[in-house]
A and B are shown apart, each in its own frame.
Chain A
Amino acid sequence: MTQIRGQKDLGIGVIYLALGLAGFIIARDYSFGTSGRMGPGYFPTIISGLLILFGIIAMLRGLMREGQPIGSLNWKGMALITLSVCAFGYLLETAGVIVALLALILISAAASERFRFELRAALGLVAFIIVCAVVFIKGLGVPMPLIGEWFK
């Protein structure tokens, strides 16, 4: 495979084109109306059209011009941070806030290269979860169950 010269331009171009096309196709279901009476599809269609145009320009620029390489992506960080937040969302209502916070903190912390077990950090973790539970549930009244359905 030949080396693509403007990786960043090409990458963003593909994203813009995809979003624009998706926006355009979905907007066809909404009535366009007329300029005097804009329908729900009027503005989204124009925006999507422009986005498609920009996407194509960016892609062409990426293919024809010298640009910067994207460089390595932080896959581990992306995966673990996303997983930790989703785990929190899922566990919050099923297992309760204590388990959810534990999962959130441990999974996300593992995204760091310096993650390792330490007694002090573990104690800090316990203290932090207690503080969070007190501040947010008792203090600010966020409706989060302390212990979820799973344990009842």
Chain B
Amino acid sequence: MDIFANLWLGFTVAGTFYNLFYCLVGVFLGTAIGVLPGLGPVATIAMLLPITFGLPPESALIMLAGIYYGAQYGGSTTAILVNLPGEPSSVVTALDGYQMARQGHAGRALSTAAIGSFIAGTISTILIAVFAPALAAVALQFGPAEYFSLMALGLIASIVMASGPLLHALGMILVGLLLGMAGTDVNSAVPRYTFGMPLLSDGLDFVVIAMGVFGLGEIIANLEDEADRSVMTKRVTGLMPSKEDWKRIIAPILRGTALGSLLGILPGGGAALASFGSYSLEKKLAKHPEEFGKGAIEGVAGPESANNAGAQTSFIPMLTLGLPSNSVMALMIGAMIIQGIQPGPSVMTEQPTLFWGLIASMWIGNAMLLVLNLPLIGLWVRMIAIPYNFLFPIIIVFCAIGVFSVNNNAFDVYMMAIFGVVGYVFRKLDAEPAPMLLAFILGPMMEEFLRRALLFSKGDPSVLVTRPVSAGLLIVAAVLLVAVLLPSVRKGREKAFQEE
């Protein structure tokens, strides 16, 4: 089978000392920022992007990917020990995990989360290896009309996941598209929205926007209410789950993996939605649903597996279609572009070492996390105890130096400051900035594909709906949009976000 040869290639790439080292750095950093509430993978990856410029593309992406799925592990630690989700995807873990910790079962909860995540990571890595080539083969047949529709679908799907009113999220997409227009138009060489500033002729740097909106904007929001954190400082003991526990958690882990893998592939899906879905699924299926919220081990096993599976499979559309399904994937695409790789279906054939190396590294990274995480629990607990008022100036320092080093230019630093305020204000108005960042990255590509599609059809826009695949994608987008507007779905969506 081809797939084994490919995976073998991947392991030879990911298994070199150099790449193992960057994988370890990635998962370690990822866990650390996952543990810390108020610092997410988006801001961290944006901060570290400039540092990866000098690395080979494989090592750069392996490290950045490690940060993302490492953060899923770390987030659960904080959720269980402090009842404070380190990441949005571990919100539901806090419900039962913290109760378990209060009853003295913190060790079992932590190990359940880690084991569930590892099993989910293993299965979803295999899924990526099986399905990604097939999807890439399909995508190679795509013309510009299909790509345009695919991106439109991606954008619509991203707002399904965004919290806040639908209208606000749709507007954020348009704002992102408009921001993406700034800079020199590739076809006519006309500078657009540069306000006569030569520094803007290359357009806005997405690192600047990401760090401003997700780094600084979030800090300003976090400073609004500086709550005290009380850590469960009791010694964490009894790490291994008992035989009885294994029986209880194995089914939720597998169900969570299946659900998470599925939701992760969908644009706009990813980890957070997966964990919410898995929690309600387990609660429905449980023999004793009344235990949920009071320390049910299933309520930790399912969502933790689901969020890790979702985090992994969200790489599929990014790697095969060049389509980011969430902000982290948008940053990964940016990292590829910086490395001189054109994202899309050709990555697999033209950069097989990168493609398979990254996939293999995910499994290695998950194994590292399993081994690393439990013995290092003491270190993570101490990290949670760092007060936010010491932490956030450090984050700002990394943001500022990171943004400066992109172009070695103070102008970018000022722009980041502006986007910090922009991100904060949008957040206050219930307009989530994630769809904006996606649209910003996709905008120039969408324009180019639309231009080409219309050029071939001699200006007839019906080409988007007469080609079957393109029409199908647009129909899915329309159905999604209508579905979100339906009262019953809307209520469920609002409820899911209220729990955050």
Does B associate with A? yes
Against A, the Cβ 8 Å flags (1 = close, 0 = not) of B403-442 are 0110010110110111011001110111100000000000
Q: Which residues of B contact A81 (CB under 8 A)?
A: 216, 219-220, 396, 417, 420
**B-chain residues with CB within 8 Å of residue A114 when the two chains form the complex:** 226, 387, 389
Nearest CB in chain A: distance from B64 CB, A: 16
Contacts of B192 on A, CB cut-off 8 Å? 26-27, 30, 40, 44
Chain A contact patch, size range: 35 or more
A46 to B321, CA, bound (A): 26
Question: Which of these binds chain A: B87-95, B241-249, B451-459?
Answer: B451-459
Which residue of B is nearest A27, CB measured?
B192
For A113, list chain B residues within 8 Å (CB): 223, 226, 389
Report whether B216 and A85 are in contact in the complex, using a CB–CB cutoff of 8 Å: yes
Q: Is the CB of A51 within 8 A of B175?
A: yes
B417 partner, pick from A43, A82, A124, beta carbons under 8 A? A82
> Nearest CB to that of A7 among chain B residues?
B429
Structural contact, B420 and A11, CB atoms closer than 8 A: no
Known: A15-B429, A51-B174. A36 touches B220 (CB 8 A): no
Residues from chain A with Cβ under 8 Å of B167 in the complex: 9, 54, 57-58, 61
Encode B190-204 as 1/0 by CB contact (under 8 A) with A.
Answer: 101100000000000
Pull 30 A–B residue pairs with CB atoms less than 8 Å apart, ordered by A.
Answer: A19-B178, A27-B192, A30-B192, A35-B460, A38-B451, A39-B188, A40-B192, A42-B451, A43-B181, A43-B446, A58-B167, A58-B168, A70-B429, A73-B425, A77-B219, A77-B224, A78-B424, A81-B417, A84-B396, A85-B396, A85-B414, A86-B414, A89-B404, A105-B393, A105-B397, A113-B389, A114-B389, A132-B397, A140-B51, A144-B401
A140-B405 contact given A73-B428, A112-B226, A112-B392, CB 8 Å threshold: yes
Docked CA distance A113–B425 (Å):
20
Contact yes or no, B181 A35, CB < 8 A: no
Q: Is the CB of A54 within 8 A of B174?
A: yes
Give B208-223 interface residues, CB cut-off 8 Å to A.
216, 219-221, 223
Q: Is the CB of A92 within 8 A of B190?
A: no
**In the complex, residue of chain B having the shortest beta-carbon distance to the beta carbon of A34:** B459
Determine the residue in chain B with the shortest Cβ distance to A115. B389
Distance between Cα atoms of A86 and B220 in the complex (Å): 15
Question: Which one of B221, B389, B430 contacts A109 once the chains associate, using CB atoms below 8 Å?
Answer: B389
B390 in the interface, Cβ–Cβ < 8 Å? yes
Do B421 and A78 have beta carbons less than 8 Å apart?
yes
List A residues at the B interface (Cβ < 8 Å).
Answer: 8-9, 11-12, 15-16, 19-20, 23, 26-27, 30-31, 34-40, 42-44, 47-48, 50-51, 54-55, 57-58, 61, 68, 70-71, 73-74, 77-78, 81-82, 84-86, 88-90, 92-93, 101, 104-105, 108-109, 111-115, 121, 124, 128, 132, 136, 140, 142-144
Q: How far is the CA of A30 from the CA of B401 in the complex (A)?
A: 36
CA of A28 to CA of B421, assembled, Å: 28
Tell me if A's interface is mostly helix, strand, loop or mixed.
helix
Answer whether residue B447 sits at the interface, using C-beta atoms and an 8 A cutoff.
yes
Given the contacts A12-B430, A40-B192, A82-B421, A48 and B400 also touching, CB distance less than 8 Å: no
Judge if B336 is at the interface, Cβ distance under 8 Å: no
Chain A neighbourhood of B413, CB < 8 A: 85-86, 88-89, 92
B143 at the A/B interface (Cβ < 8 Å)?
no
Residues of B in contact with A (beta carbons under 8 Å apart): 51, 54, 165, 167-168, 170-171, 174-175, 177-178, 181, 185, 187-188, 190, 192-193, 216, 219-221, 223-224, 226, 387-390, 392-394, 396-397, 399-401, 404-405, 408, 410-411, 413-414, 416-418, 420-421, 424-426, 428-431, 446-447, 450-451, 454-455, 457-461
- Chain B: interface secondary structure? helix
B408 — which chain A residues lie within 8 A by C-beta?
Answer: 142-143
List 6 tightest A-B contacts by C-beta distance, closest first: A36-B459, A89-B413, A35-B459, A112-B389, A85-B417, A89-B410
Assuming the A-B contacts A74-B223, A85-B420, are A16 and B187 also in contact, with contact meaning beta carbons closer than 8 angstroms in the complex?
no
User: Contacts A93-B410, A104-B396 given; 9 further ones with Cβ under 8 A?
Assistant: A8-B168, A12-B426, A23-B181, A40-B187, A40-B188, A58-B168, A77-B424, A112-B389, A114-B387
- State the CA gap A144–B460 with chains docked (Å): 53
Known contacts A30-B190, A51-B178, A112-B226; A68 and B430 CB within 8 A of each other: yes
Given contact pairs A51-B178, A85-B413, A92 touches B404 in the complex (Cβ within 8 A)? yes
On chain A, the residues within 8 Å of B404 by CB distance are 89, 92, 142, 144
Q: Which of B175, B193, B223, B428 contacts A70 (CB 8 A)?
A: B428
CB pair B401–A58 under 8 Å, yes or no, is no
Chain A residue nearest to B189 (CB atoms) is A40
Query: Given the complex, which residues of B lie within 8 Å of A112, measured CB to CB?
Result: 223, 226, 388-389, 392
- Which one of B174, B397, B405, B455 contacts A37 once the chains associate, using CB atoms below 8 Å? B455
Q: How far is the CA of A90 from the CA of B410 in the complex (A)?
A: 7
Q: How far is the CB of A4 from chain B (nearest CB, A)?
A: 13
For B165, the chain A residues whose CB sits under 8 A away are: 9
